Amino acid sequence: MNHPAIAAALLLATTAVAPAVAQRPAPPVPARVDPAVARLRDAALEDTLAYDIVEGLTTEIGQRLAATEAEARARTWAVARLKALGFRNVRIETFRMPVWLRGEERAEVISPFPQKLQLVALGNSGATPAEGLTAPVTVFRTYGDLANAPAGSLKGRIAYVGNAMEPTQDGSSYGSNGAARFVGPALAASKGALAVVIRSIGTDAHRNPHTGGTNWPPGVQPIPAAALSVSDALLLERMADRGKPITLHLTLTPRFAGEGESGNVIAEVPGTDPRAGIVLIGGHLDSWDLGTGAIDDGAGVAITTAAAKRLLDGPRPRRTIRVVWFGAEEPGGYGGIDYARVHGRERHATAQESDFGADRVWRFEVNLPDSAKAVADRLQSALAPLGISRGAGIGGDGTDVGPTIALGVGSVDLNQSGLRYFDTHHTPDDTLERIDPAQLRQNVAAWTAMLAVVANASEDIGNVTPRK
């Protein structure tokens, strides 16, 4: 999971929007669950395919940084796997994008207390000279403190920007704390900073730094920008508490490497009624380059593929289910943008993605046209036995499906618990061991039930007004 876009949406969702958008109260009499839907759902609780996929992807490929040879190998792997599973129309759709590659990354406090610090460059970071740079540090405990710093006040200095992110079920603390990463470096650059180090946008207190993209508005020259592990950030703050000036030596040598190729991998479960619209699902195939991309987002492609496979193995659904393993989500959602460019004119019924780890789905939220209100009621009944409640917000979240949703396509969001997600998100520790197989199976069951209801709904599912 990337992202400023989501973050901004979450920021909105936590303020004014959520209470205001309740669609309607739940119906007093629950909708009947089609026994075929219930059977598919319950069988999916015994799923092994999703785990096999994420185990395979992390073991046989590992990290899959966008537009690199590793991501290309992953696409080849995906095509072979999807064809072997019997999916139809399996293909790769490539696109071009800018490439950013990590280099060396080291930091040490020179004074007052010499110590090495663990950090990683942020995606799109600029570089220091090869021999590094040495500069005094200005410590901002929050992004707000940085925002209040006078123009020019960071000239010749390294800005440190803290945060106090706590775990939240809905992930909203990512939005409310993430500014330090999304826009902090550019803001510091605008005030003259030589470089920026932030406290990782994460909810742990361990030694694994969290990478992630940062954004440079047009005209802003990228400066070196890195994330300290939360533990190292707390260490630096304790040094600052002692009131003595801090000098840091920082070496970051990432580089922009021109244009490269990424791509989306597409597979289908053909439907019987081409005019009923496509149900678009998926996750992203690329990952950051530190871990092996298990929770971000091996789990997402695994969950959605395993659910689609259950429909593939039964009677043909009314609607075509299209599974996309999106490329290059992390550096800026390039796969989702390219998908909408190529396929935006095809009729889609709904679009939704899984990109928030592998923990249990706890809530669903929809954006469906009036003609399909009964679909949401049936979803409510079908998902309730999995412990999934219906939320009052408007669905339609996700970096990869976002550009398609923006065209007016409906959505059924299956929200996963975010309580553990940001402990290891974007760190070297995003590996297979972070996946709880039981929770992963619950996800497959939720997506299977969702597909069984939505892909077979007899109602028309036409366009909607996208949430703001």
- Minimum distance from residue 256 beta carbon to a second copy (Å): 22
What proportions of the chain, in percent to the nearest 5, are helix, strand and coil?
Answer: 35, 20, 40
Of 206, 316, 347, 373, the one binding a second copy (CB under 8 A) is: 206
- Minimum distance from residue 91 beta carbon to a second copy (Å): 24
Secondary structure E strands in 223-347: 225-228, 247-252, 255-269, 278-284, 321-326
Of the candidate spans 15-23, 96-104, 113-121, 298-306, the one that interacts with a second copy by CB under 8 A turns out to be: 113-121
Under the criterion CB under 8 A, does residue 76 sit at the interface with a second copy?
Answer: no
| Residues belonging to the chain | 468
Using the 8-state DSSP alphabet, how is residue 428 labeled? T
Query: In the window 216-235, what residues touch a second copy (CB under 8 A)?
Result: 231, 234-235
Of the candidate spans 46-54, 109-117, 120-128, 320-328, the one that interacts with a second copy by CB under 8 A turns out to be: 109-117
Q: Which is nearer to a second copy, 292 or 380 (CB)?
A: 292
Query: What residues contact 392, with CB distance under 8 A and at least 6 apart?
Result: 18, 19, 21, 22, 23, 365
| Terminal C-alpha separation, the chain | 20
From 229, 122, 256, select the one nearest 184 (Cα to Cα).
122
From 155, 238, 142, 147, select the one nearest 194 (Cα to Cα).
155
Under the criterion CB under 8 A, does residue 115 sit at the interface with a second copy?
Answer: yes
Under the criterion CB under 8 A, does residue 184 sit at the interface with a second copy?
Answer: no
**Local structure of 367: helix, strand or coil:** strand
270-309 footprint of a second copy as x/- string (CB under 8 A): ---------------------xx-----------------
Helix H or strand E segment including 370: none
Strands 389-390 and 361-367, bridge-based pairing: parallel
35-64 footprint of a second copy as x/- string (CB under 8 A): --------------------x--xxxxxx-
Secondary structure E strands in 193-254: 195-199, 225-228, 247-252
Of the candidate spans 129-137, 202-210, 375-383, 436-444, the one that interacts with a second copy by CB under 8 A turns out to be: 202-210
Of the candidate spans 150-158, 192-200, 254-262, 426-434, the one that interacts with a second copy by CB under 8 A turns out to be: 426-434
Under the criterion CB under 8 A, does residue 350 sit at the interface with a second copy?
Answer: no
Of 205, 220, 257, 342, the one binding a second copy (CB under 8 A) is: 205
Handedness of CA 368, 369, 372, 374 (dihedral sign): positive
Of 132, 391, 402, 428, the one binding a second copy (CB under 8 A) is: 428
Of the candidate spans 129-137, 199-207, 264-272, 452-460, the one that interacts with a second copy by CB under 8 A turns out to be: 199-207
- Minimum distance from residue 125 beta carbon to a second copy (Å): 20
Distance CA 441, CA 117 (A): 39
Q: Which is nearer to a second copy, 293 or 398 (CB)?
A: 293
Distance CA 28, CA 364 (A): 18
Distance CA 99, CA 65 (A): 9
Q: Which is nearer to a second copy, 60 or 313 (CB)?
A: 60
Distance CA 334, CA 98 (A): 10
Give the binding site for a second copy (CB under 8 A): 55, 58-63, 70, 113-116, 118, 205-208, 231, 234-235, 238-239, 242, 291-292, 427-429, 431-433
